[in-house]
Amino acid sequence: MKLTASLSIFSALVAICSAAPQIKIGSTTLNGRDIPTLRQEFFGGIPYAEPPLGDLRLRPPVLKTTLDSETFDASDYGPGCLQKASGATPLSEDCLTINILRPSGLPEDAKLPVFFWVYGGGFEAGVSSIYNGSAIVAQSAARGTPLIFVNFNYRLGPLGFPQGQEADDKKALNLAIKDEIAALEWIQSNIGIFGGDKEKVTVFGESAGAIMNSILFLNSPFEKLARGAILESGSQATSLNSFASRREIDWQNFVSGVASCASLATSGHTFDCLQNAPSDEILNGLVNAINEAPEQFAFDPTIDGPDGLYPDLPSRVFAQGNFAKIPFISGTNLDEGTAFTPLTINSEDQIRAAIVSNFTPPFASEYELLRAADTLLELYPDIPALGSPFNTGNETFGLSSQFKRAAALNGDISFHSQRRFFQSTATKAGIKNWGYSFTQPQPGLPPFIGVTHGVEVPYVFGAPSDQSASSLRISALMIDYWVSFATSLDPNDGKGLPRPVWEQYAIGDESVMQLNGDDTKMIPDTFRKEQIDFINSIPVVLMHRRNDKI
């Protein structure tokens, strides 16, 4: 979700700057940018890890808490990490940088809470520079609870999530999540210099960013690095739960596109060559892998074993009680599945084939998978009024009625059931958490898409494209809820705009906040209860997905 309009405003504002603010890290003086119109200061493009090039390519990040120069220009963002398309954003493999936006004039001992954003993009795209936290910082200060906004870049595609048996053997999996951990460790070392409190870090992110944050609950030093999390449209099992060997073909496609290493694509011995290949060839390989992928998302996180960040299926980890005990907010948008459902789908046989393909090879038996597919088709009948986009009656928008059927099923399996499963698990473990359902209408989008995946992000950043009173109202309320949680670990701090009390998730009284500019209120978390209960009753069968191209 790009915030280009917001970024343009930010760029114009930073151009109207006075004397550059300075910060000293070790023996290096960082020169940032003053934004007097907002009373904010920006420091960007700061390396938090050594450049992941040469021998460090396809390896975990090497934390870099100090710089090697006397001065450093921190007045702008660094380049984005290599990806298929980035618009006007410059790209580089030397992309592991972090950015800080803070209220102006902070003393070093200010100890403000830190709000750490992780962008989404299917683990294949995204860059920190398109997310402008100025509205969040401004509203936090105006309500008397100032905070510091931080975001960063992480590696993408095969560089961030290597696949295949060789990557598994070399313990080179989930590198992007390790990038996030390194950025959080950098905060622990340095955020105090910027006036932040390393003990008051809250992570938030959307889609892939939320998935990465949620995975940190499983088997990482998360409790030492953050005290809270906000998960927007993403849970541990929203992405594929499988082993790297399953996607051998995707790694081969990557290597095949790297000219100097293509002959080794199927050899099982590619890393040495790849670490010596030039970056332009690496980018060609990345693009080739994404173009040739037999599925929608080829470079998801992978199970990396008992000592890894993703030790097993999340449902099994939950059952053992081995997850971080950190308070969180988790939510979904009304029509998550429409963004991932082909417009060309037009038969029940296609839906059944997709279910079987997406969950093959099964962690359970093939018989259980086939039986689950049949049950799902019964629970999600071909009745347009029950499909997604929801609350649109029998309207099919010129598409087959199977589209709404498949979109409802996709959204529930990958998003709504996962959110409900984790919230119930956490609540039973005594972890405070709050849920939401974002239902704000999107008049600027085609009607068949509804309130789809990702549309809440501009509201969180104070930049919705719909400038109606209702839209602006829910944007302001969401920032207040988010900031309240980041600064107090409770969305109900009583400060800022008047807003409904957001009740904690509770067993026996499960409810979530409906985020809608015309009707913000608590609602029962019982929508499609029979369907989602079934999905969550067989997590080993359905709590992982593949999204094959149909």
Per-residue pLDDT of 34-45, as tens digits, reads 999 999 999 999
What gap in Å lies between CA 82 and CA 287, rounded to an integer?
9
Distance separating alpha carbons of residues 394 and 372, to the nearest angstrom? 26
Active site residue: 207, 330, 424, 511, which one?
207
- Both 356 and 280 in one domain: the answer is no
- From 294, 316, 338, the end of a domain falls on 316
Burial degree of 229 (CB within 10 A; 0-12, 13-18, 19+): buried
C-alpha span between 103 and 486 (Å, rounded): 16
50 and 180, same domain (yes or no): yes
- When the pLDDT of each residue in the chain is averaged and rounded to a whole number, the result is 94
The predicted structure's pLDDT at residue 337: 97
Identify the pLDDT of residue 366: 87
Question: What confidence tier does 531 reach under pLDDT thresholds 50, 70, 90?
Answer: very high
Same domain as 368, residue 510? yes
Q: Residue 42 forms beta bridges with which residues?
A: 33, 101
Q: Say what the pLDDT of residue 533 is.
A: 97
Percent of the chain with pLDDT over 90: 89
Residue 544 lies in a domain: no
What residues make up the domain containing 397?
Answer: 327-538
Q: Does position 548 have pLDDT exceeding 60, yes or no?
A: no
- My answer on whether 377 and 510 are in the same domain is yes
Same domain for 195 and 216: yes
Three-class DSSP category at 55: helix
Do 378 and 438 fall within a single domain? yes
On whether both 193 and 296 belong to a single domain, the answer is yes
Residue 231 contacts residue 210 (beta carbons within 8 Å): yes
Which CATH number fits the domain that encloses residue 486?
A: 3.40.50.1820
Buried b / exposed e over 104-117, threshold 16 CB at 10 Å, is eebeeebbbbbbbb
Q: One-letter amino acid identity for 118?
A: V
Domains in the chain: how many in total? Answer: 2
Residue at 545 is within a domain: no
| 248 is a domain residue | yes
Kindly state whether residue 14 falls inside one of the protein's structural domains: no
Least confident of 15-24, 154-163, 235-244, 486-495: 15-24
Is the per-residue pLDDT at 2 higher than 50? no
Give dist(CA 509, CA 482) in Å, integer: 23
Residues 285 and 397 in one domain: no
Quick check: is 511 catalytic?
no
Q: Supply the pLDDT for residue 546.
A: 41
Structure token digits, residue 384: 């347009």
Q: Are residues 290 and 219 in the same domain?
A: yes
Residue 334 and residue 261 share a domain: no
**What global pTM score does this model have?**
0.95
Q: Is the predicted pLDDT of residue 289 greater than 90, yes or no?
A: yes
Choose the final residue of a domain: 250, 284, 316.
316
Q: Is 298 exposed, middle or buried (0-12, 13-18, 19+ CB in 10 A)?
A: buried
Share of the chain above pLDDT 70, in %: 95
Domain identity same for 483 and 381: yes
- Pick 416 or 242 by higher pLDDT: 416
- CA-based torsion, 188, 184, 319, 325: positive or negative: positive
Q: How confident is the model at residue 5 (pLDDT cuts 50, 70, 90)?
A: very low
